[in-house]
Structure 1
């Protein structure tokens, strides 16, 4: 049994198309929990009308991604579906589309590589050949990791041609299949130190340390609305945008979050953090230089 947990907030149209993709899955042993964290755009009513089998848990508007996801996982832990020997959580974001065989491909990969977590490669929905994610190579001494997508020239067709899977050092929450036993072993997502960003990365690093492989299954493709995510960079990123990104909850470069990760998992702690901030700053300066050319 797969319990799919989707945190949402005021993105009715995106939530609608995401649930529509799940409605036509070839693998049918699944249930969907949507944690609606204070939406005011009619999201919950739309779900009730169009996807009545979906369980809606209503939040207060201040859960953010991490605790909203934890709410769904806790419900699944407390209300296991009867009659199944294995239970999984699939974390998914509403700004995604998946193919009808998506769930089946995740389970197939799990059977091949278990014990493991199975993640999804992702592409831009507006440019389906552009590979956005295919795993990570994380270096926990001096924050010098890189994205595995570069190994395949950021081309999904090349990834699919060359390999069936990539073993990764971390996985995002955007399409990751997790055996329920993992939560019993390493705990839930850390909403105290990572309220919105990096909780998924931090959780997957904990899982890997506990002995679980992190697999990105090539066939389990996720198409993401890149421009709808906080990871999308403005075409003309200003100095004000850059400075604000260090304190915004909605920013993956929030310094408190980066520091918490460095202390939790960086092998050199504060030095890891300083190098990480330097890397982020150099990346911004490089983008400013390229925009000025």
Structure 2
């Protein structure tokens, strides 16, 4: 059984199209658990009318991604049949997937286990553009890179060269997690990582516990990139960049980056300083490139 856990908040149309894709899957042994964290746009009513088999758990708007996902996992844990293979698939509603998506994830798990299986992410409006294919990093000076760079951000090139990649972390946007992992390392940390980086932190813990982190190339998530939080790697203003250091919706939130440095890096505060310096340098370099004449 795969329990698909999706936190949602006021994105009814994204939620509708995501659910439509999931109900078209060739693999059928799954349940969908939507955690509706205080939506006011009729999301819960739409799900009840159009997808009545979907479980809807209602929050008050203060769960954010991490605790909303934990709610869904706890619900799934209560109904586990120990005789089956049981998984949680974490997914965001601003995505769509092909009908064979779940089957490709399971096939990859059975080939590489014990492991977590992550998805390749591409731009929904330009599926050739590779958005994510894993990451490599070291825990001393915050160095590393996105594996998509090794394939010129081209999904076609990636698919032609390999069927999977091994990563140092995995995002919550399409990751298949064996239920046993939660028993071994716990749930996502909603105290230190309210919204961003809880997925990365969780996968780092899983890797430390001996689970491989595999990005399966045939398992593609089509991502609506403009709907995803604060994008520090895109064209944002200096004001937005600075505000990102304190925003819950930002992956550059200083408290979150500090917690990760203390929890997992080899050099603690030094790593944190390197990490923030890297983020600031990257932003400045992108601004300089934009100022250069064509």
Asked whether the two chains share a fold, i.e. TM above 0.5, the reply is: yes
1:29 aligns with 2:6: no
Alpha-carbon offset, residue 240 of structure 1: 1.1
1:111 aligns with 2:126: no
Which TM-score applies when normalising by structure 1?
A: 0.98
1:243 aligns with 2:245: no
Rounded to whole Å, the distance in 2 between the matches of 1:50 and 1:75 is: 22
Rounded to whole Å, the distance in 2 between the matches of 1:166 and 1:234 is: 23
Q: Equivalent residue of 2:177, what SS? A: strand
Alpha-carbon offset, residue 235 of structure 1: 6.0
Alpha-carbon offset, residue 228 of structure 1: 0.2
CA distance change for structure 1 residues 87 and 136 in 2, over 3 Å: closer, same or farther? same
The equivalent of 1:20 in structure 2 is 20
Q: CA RMSD, aligned part only?
A: 1.1
Rounded to whole Å, the distance in 1 between the matches of 2:106 and 2:83 is: 14
CA distance change for structure 1 residues 236 and 168 in 2, over 3 Å: closer, same or farther? closer
Alignment check: 8 A CA contact 1:236 1:291 kept: no
1:265-291: CA deviations, max 9, x gaps? 011000100000000000110111112
Q: Equivalent residue of 1:10, what SS? A: coil
Q: Equivalent residue of 1:105, what SS? A: helix
- Is there any run of 5+ residues in structure 2 with no aligned partner, and where? none
Alpha-carbon offset, residue 84 of structure 1: 4.4
Alpha-carbon offset, residue 83 of structure 1: 7.5
CA distance change for structure 1 residues 168 and 34 in 2, over 3 Å: closer, same or farther? same
The equivalent of 1:128 in structure 2 is 127
Rounded to whole Å, the distance in 2 between the matches of 1:91 and 1:99 is: 16
Which TM-score applies when normalising by structure 2?
A: 0.97
Alpha-carbon offset, residue 231 of structure 1: 4.5
The equivalent of 1:229 in structure 2 is 228
1:103-157: CA deviations, max 9, x gaps? 0000000000000000000001011000000010011111001100011110001
The equivalent of 1:159 in structure 2 is 158
CA distance change for structure 1 residues 113 and 250 in 2, over 3 Å: closer, same or farther? same
Matches within 5 A, 1:45-124: 45-80=45-80, 82=81, 84-124=83-123
The equivalent of 1:184 in structure 2 is 183
Alpha-carbon offset, residue 193 of structure 1: 0.2
The equivalent of 1:2 in structure 2 is 2
